[in-house]
């Protein structure tokens, strides 16, 4: 979870150099992205980080798949999941990817007002999803499935909880973007910063599609 702490870091680190390409400290600095690969440092860093995250979720999903069948007779995946409810909240999260795309486009067009609007809507949709997850966890808990009730319970809450934390961190980054942007304080290339947060957001959505399919849709 602390891995996530690095997001804003990466987003802010290199942008200054890109913004001041007239200093010529590097021979090839006059180009927009004066790197050996042509990809900006921030973006390359973000892609690598997301690659690393794939293995984090890979490990958690494997754990869940191993333990999904280990539960008492009446508190297993087939009895407890409310597929229609989770489908709706999954749909909400998917829609937030769409609004994120719109935010990135607005940022690239330097349309600040729309950018702030779409970022806020994305954050709200994300918050709706997290709210749904909190509701889901509470109702499971009331049905008797605690974190330590069974191996199924532990691995379910761990996997979906980790995803929920990722979404929450994403929401914090979105809100921070809006807040900082209103005070004109995003250092460097603003469109790229928004794009980086967007990459992270889409990644979290894709992971959810995977989790939704493997955890909820495939009967145990």
d(CA 204, CA 47): 13
CB contact burial 185-205 (16+ within 10 A = b; e otherwise): ebebbbbbbbbbbbbbbbbbb
d(CA 33, CA 189): 11
Q: Which of 108, 120, 128, 154 binds another protein (CB under 8 A)?
A: 154
Tally Cβ neighbours within 10 Å of residue 129. Answer: 27
Asked if 144 touches another protein (CB under 8 A), the answer is no
Structure tokens at 11: 């987003």
Contact segment (CB under 8 A) with another protein among 107-115, 117-125, 129-137, 150-158 equals 150-158
Contact segment (CB under 8 A) with another protein among 85-93, 99-107, 110-118, 182-190 equals 182-190
Structure tokens at 121: 């809507």
CB 112 → another protein: shortest distance, Å? 18
d(CA 155, CA 68): 8
CB contact burial 75-104 (16+ within 10 A = b; e otherwise): bbbeebbeeeebeebbebbbbbbebbebbb
Residue 218, C-beta contacts closer than 8 angstroms, at least 6 positions apart: none
Alpha helices in 14-150 (DSSP H): 15-19, 41-67, 77-80, 83-108, 112-143
Asked if 75 touches another protein (CB under 8 A), the answer is no
Q: Which of 91, 182, 187, 220 binds another protein (CB under 8 A)?
A: 187
Asked if 150 touches another protein (CB under 8 A), the answer is yes
Asked if 181 touches another protein (CB under 8 A), the answer is no
Q: Which of 30, 31, 32, 63 binds another protein (CB under 8 A)?
A: 63
Asked if 165 touches another protein (CB under 8 A), the answer is no
Q: Which of 52, 79, 138, 220 binds another protein (CB under 8 A)?
A: 52
Q: Which of 30, 32, 51, 85 binds another protein (CB under 8 A)?
A: 51
Asked if 164 touches another protein (CB under 8 A), the answer is no
Q: Which of 99, 147, 165, 194 binds another protein (CB under 8 A)?
A: 147
* Interacting residue ranges for another protein, rule: CB under 8 A: 2-3, 5-6, 8-17, 20, 22-29, 34-37, 39, 41, 44-45, 48-49, 51-56, 58-60, 63, 66-67, 70, 147-148, 150-151, 154-155, 158, 176, 180, 185, 187-188
């Amino acid at each position: 979870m602390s891995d996530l702490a690095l997001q804003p870091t990466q987003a802010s680190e290199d942008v200054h150099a890109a913004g001041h390409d007239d200093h010529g400290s590097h021979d090839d600095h006059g180009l927009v992205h004066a790197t050996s690969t042509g990809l900006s440092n921030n973006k390359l860093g973000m892609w690598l980080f997301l690659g690393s995250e794939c293995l984090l979720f890979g490990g958690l999903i494997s754990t869940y798949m191993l333990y999904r069948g280990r539960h008492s007779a009446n508190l297993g995946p087939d009895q407890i999941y409310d597929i229609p409810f989770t489908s709706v909240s999954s749909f909400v999260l998917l829609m937030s990817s769409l609004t994120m795309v719109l935010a990135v486009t607005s940022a690239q067009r330097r349309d600040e007002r729309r950018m702030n609007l779409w970022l806020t809507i994305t954050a709200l949709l994300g918050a709706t999803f997290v709210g749904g997850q909190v509701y889901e966890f509470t109702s499971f808990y009331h049905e008797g499935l605690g974190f330590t009730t069974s191996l199924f319970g532990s691995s379910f809450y761990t996997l979906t909880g980790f995803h929920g934390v990722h979404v929450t961190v994403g929401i914090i980054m979105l809100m921070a973007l809006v807040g900082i942007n209103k005070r004109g304080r995003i250092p460097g290339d603003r469109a790229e910063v928004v794009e980086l947060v967007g990459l992270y957001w889409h990644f979290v959505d894709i992971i959810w599609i995977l989790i939704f399919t493997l955890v909820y849709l495939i009967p145990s």
